[in-house]
Chains A and B, each alone.
Chain A
Amino acid sequence: MAATETKRVAYYKGCLASLSAKELDTSTQALAPKLGLELDELESVTCCGAGDIHEAEPDYYLHLNARILAYAEQTGADTLMTICNVCTLNLRQANWQLKNDDNLRARVSQNLETVGSPPYGGTVEVKHLLWLIAEGDGYELLKQVAHKGLKGLKVAPFYGCQILRPSKILGFEDPDRPWSLEAIIEACGGEPIDYPAKIKCCGFPIIQAREETALGELIQPIEQASEAGADAIVTPCPLCHLSLDAWQSKLKKATGKDFQMPILHLSQLIGVAAGLEESELKFKRHVVSVEPVVTKLEA
């Protein structure tokens, strides 16, 4: 079914979607036209810095994000679409700081121009794909597009942290009672599974430096979703995805429990409901096999 109206957005895919989470990019790009989104992919950009450059060299971090925003503005679109929680927080925070402080904006924009980047004008708004399709026209389109449907698949939403908090910067939904993923799961014909840890941290930021602590966090959503009968977990963040999927095996070592819980990117969840091919979904790249889900849906 073709989309009747397309919205052109600047598309910032972030580091993981470029490399280790390529499946996120391929599924997003394949899904976009069906959701009425024309993606203008940004190339002259860098890593948004995650929490790391924010912590290591915050002034540089501000400039990197300002540069991404500046290049996004150059496309003429009014929206910069992200597909990662962390990128969303970083870009929105930078955007806010620059828009609301004349001196800061002047200095940063001048620096951008000095190195040959476009200046920062404050004309784009940063939105995660999740927000574009959880309500309004995007949601209506989504419902139409997910025609193959999830056939009652039990899906546990995992929001993670930085798509919700700090809410004064993100502000799309109540940080303690979010609903967007559930709405999307339902629109795709799935059954949302509720559990307390859906808004807690997956531990990714410290999974290398403090593995034990991180695993103590990571086990919560996986175990709770499993006990609640979920067939899969869906997440809007590739960093969470990496923890939940790639590090799931470490949980077995630490706790003896082998959850085998498939973890889907948001775009894959919708994608599979919309009938995307494996070449676009790239489930085979996942560490925890998504086969059980595929089998259930083909049944």
Chain B
Amino acid sequence: MDVALKIWRYDPESGERVLRAYEVDAPEWACLLDVLDLIKDKHDGTLAYRKSCRMMICGSCGMRMDGRAVLACKERMKPLVDAGHVPVISAMGNMPVLKDLVVDMAPFWSKIRAVKPWLDPGYDEVAEKERIVSQQQMNAIHKESLCIMCGCCVSECNSMESDPEFLGPAALAKGFRFVGDVRDHADVARLNELNEEHGIWDCTRCYFCNERCPKGVDPRDAIAKLGAESIRQNVDHDMGAKHAKWFVKSAETTGWLRETELVPKTQGVVSAVKQVGFALNLAKHGKVPPPFPPHVAKDVKEARALRDLVRMQGREGAAGIVQGEHALAQIEHVLDADPDSAPASRIAPEKAGGKSGGD
């Protein structure tokens, strides 16, 4: 089949950045990576990109297709060709571009190293045999252990785009791989570090990482698990943690969110005072509901009782998220079997909404 695509080329030696069009004859089973190989072999050997396993396990070939990070070896070209779509290929985002589709992964790796990504069992000697750990305990970190360090999650991370020092989804997911590993005994130390600036509470919950991850790691959920463990272990000094805890308090007292008190509870009274001007402006428009009388939901007693009840059932902290993963793992299986329930095709030209998908 005839495959046409455009690639953003960047030559570091001349500084030139230019969008080039290519067309090659590729087999029907070809993925994006195969097409790049054909271009490099037959048209332009200077095209630079990383590759190795071509089977979605090494993590080398992360790049953007129409502005979205993908593994080049995973993207089949036939659906695009059939739809008459010409994709634009570019390097992953949030990382400096070295050449063409090759990014400098050094900042990525230094963030991984920053979470001390090795088991800390709390002792030095090697045990005689394996540590006894149940499959259920290991399942707590199953998803995080799938990570192939491809960088796709980092590419569109909205928080990192705004704050480049944000540790990011890959590093944080790796952090949970250890916090959630029952054999690791440095939980509290790890959580304290991850609760610092540019850590857990910097995540903006845009879910781009979950959406982009080609392996189903769901980094956002790993970050939520870290938050849950932090709060469970009373590592909760960060404003983000306080903000989250206030939601719980609201739910079990009035049911509805006690918005007015959210600012002082999150940011502390001093900071709340500094915000008075801003708050008054909001109040003018009725955006600051009076804290009194409290807006209480009907039958809120049930919500209170629920909290007391569930707290006794041993699913505290990250376990509360892990318990749902078994069901979520079924999603793709079920959706794939039922085409009607799958989201609209990636490329539905008659419906596609323009700019957000491109470069």
A interface residues, Cβ below 8 angstroms from B: 15-16, 18-22, 43-47, 49-64, 67, 93, 96-101, 104, 107, 111-112, 114-117, 161-162, 165-179, 182, 194-201, 203, 205-206, 208-210, 212-217, 242, 246, 249-250, 284-287
Bound CA span A18–B356, Å: 32
14 contacts between A and B (CB under 8 A): A18-B256, A45-B297, A52-B248, A104-B327, A161-B207, A162-B207, A167-B343, A172-B344, A199-B356, A200-B158, A203-B158, A209-B266, A210-B159, A287-B285
**A173 to chain B: which residues have CB within 8 Å?**
343-344, 351
Question: Chain B interface secondary structure, helix, strand, loop or mixed?
Answer: helix
Does residue B245 face the partner (Cβ distance < 8 Å to A)? Answer: yes
Q: Is A67's CB under 8 angstroms from B353's CB?
A: no
Per the bound structure, the CA–CA distance linking A197 and B159 in Å amounts to 13
Contact across chains for B207 and A165 when beta carbons are under 8 A apart: yes
A-B CB proximity, top 9 nearest: A58-B320, A216-B162, A59-B320, A55-B227, A201-B206, A100-B327, A165-B207, A52-B247, A15-B257
A residues in contact with B203, CB < 8 Å: 205-206
Question: Contact partner of A115 among B67, B223, B306, CB < 8 A?
Answer: B306
B281 at the interface (CB under 8 A from A): yes
Chain B residues with CB under 8 A of A104: 323-324, 326-327
In the bound complex, residues from chain B placing their C-beta under 8 Å from that of A167 are: 211, 343
Give A114's nearest chain B residue, CB to CB.
Answer: B309
Partner of A168, one of B259, B307, B331: B331
Q: Which residues of A contact B347 (CB under 8 A)?
A: 177
Select which of A50, A56, A170 is within 8 A of B231 by beta carbon: A56
Decide if A46 touches B256 in the complex (CB within 8 Å): yes
Stretch at the interface among B72-80, B95-103, B287-295: B287-295
Total contacting residues, chain B, CB less than 8 A: 102
Between B301, B348, B351, the greatest number of chain A beta carbons within 10 A of the residue's beta carbon is seen for: B351
Cβ-closest chain A residue relative to B346:
A174
User: Are B231 and A46 touching (Cβ within 8 A)?
Assistant: no
Q: Is B201 at the interface (CB under 8 A from chain A)?
A: yes
Contact B315 A206 (CB under 8 A): no
Q: Which residue of A lies closest to B288 (CB)?
A: A20
Q: A176 near B346 (CB under 8 angstroms)?
A: yes
| Contact A213 B166, beta carbon cutoff 8 Å | yes
Query: A59-B315, A115-B302, A179-B353 are contacts. A171–B342 as well, Cβ < 8 Å?
Result: yes
Task: Tell me the complex Cα distance, A18–B287, Å.
Answer: 11
What 0/1 readout, one digit per residue, does chain B (304-326) give for beta carbons within 8 Å of chain A? 01110111010111111101101
B48 interface contact, C-beta 8 A: no
- Chain B residues with Cβ below 8 Å from A285 are 285-287
**Roughly how many angstroms separate A50 CA and B227 CA in the complex, as a whole number?**
14
> Which listed residue (A99, A170, A212) contacts B327, Cβ 8 A?
A99
- Is B58's CB within 8 Å of the partner chain A? no
Q: Is B81's beta carbon under 8 Å from chain A?
A: no
User: Given A53-B251, A170-B343, A208-B262, 5 more contacts at CB 8 Å?
Assistant: A15-B256, A43-B298, A64-B303, A100-B334, A177-B347
